[in-house]
Amino acid sequence: MPSDVPAGPAGTTELTRTRGAVLLTASGLAAAFAAASCCGLPFVLATFGLGTAWLYGVAVVAAPYRAILLAAAAICLVGGAALLWRRQTDVHCAPGGLCSKPTARALTTVGLLVGFVLLYLGYAYA
């Protein structure tokens, strides 16, 4: 059964590549949050007067894997940014597809920015 979404040059659909950008961004954001939960994130939240006791459980679990989480977050966020940039520069986009929705692009961009800030906090305040 043929697909309604045109296939890309490598045989992948545009929707799959867009979902890949969203999935990589979410994975990188989660890894960066876990890496920053022990040191950098409590400092930033306490600066704004927010309690950070709830981060203790995440920090205890994530602390032994901090280097792995930093590497995974960096790889996922860079991959998500590359796929998002590739989607924005591609002229072939299915009407009504995820790549044509500005809300999905904006949320992915915000997720990438927050992820890179958390990645920096996890690296700088260790």
pLDDT in tens, the chain (126 residues): 454 555 555 445 666 667 888 899 999 999 999 999 988 888 888 889 888 888 888 889 998 999 999 999 999 999 999 988 887 666 556 665 555 577 878 888 999 999 999 999 999 987
Task: Indicate whether 6 belongs to any domain.
Answer: no
Q: Which structural domain, as residue segments, surrounds residue 58?
A: 14-124
SS3 of residue 13 by DSSP: strand
Question: Cα separation of 15 and 118, whole Å?
Answer: 28
Answer yes or no: is 90 within a domain.
yes
- Say if 18 falls within a structural domain: yes
In a domain, 117, yes or no: yes
Instruction: Give domain status of residue 101, yes or no.
Output: yes
3-state secondary structure of 101: coil
Query: Does the CA dihedral 123-31-104-50 come out positive or negative?
Result: negative
Read off the pTM: 0.77
Count structural domains, the chain. 1
- 8 falls within a domain: no
Is 108 within a domain? yes
Residue 7 lies in a domain: no
Cα separation of 79 and 99, whole Å?
16
How many residues make up the chain in this entry?
126
Report d(CA 37, CA 74) in Å as an integer. Answer: 16
The pLDDT of residue 100? 56
pLDDT of residue 17: 66
**How many other C-beta atoms lie within 10 A of the C-beta of residue 107?**
13
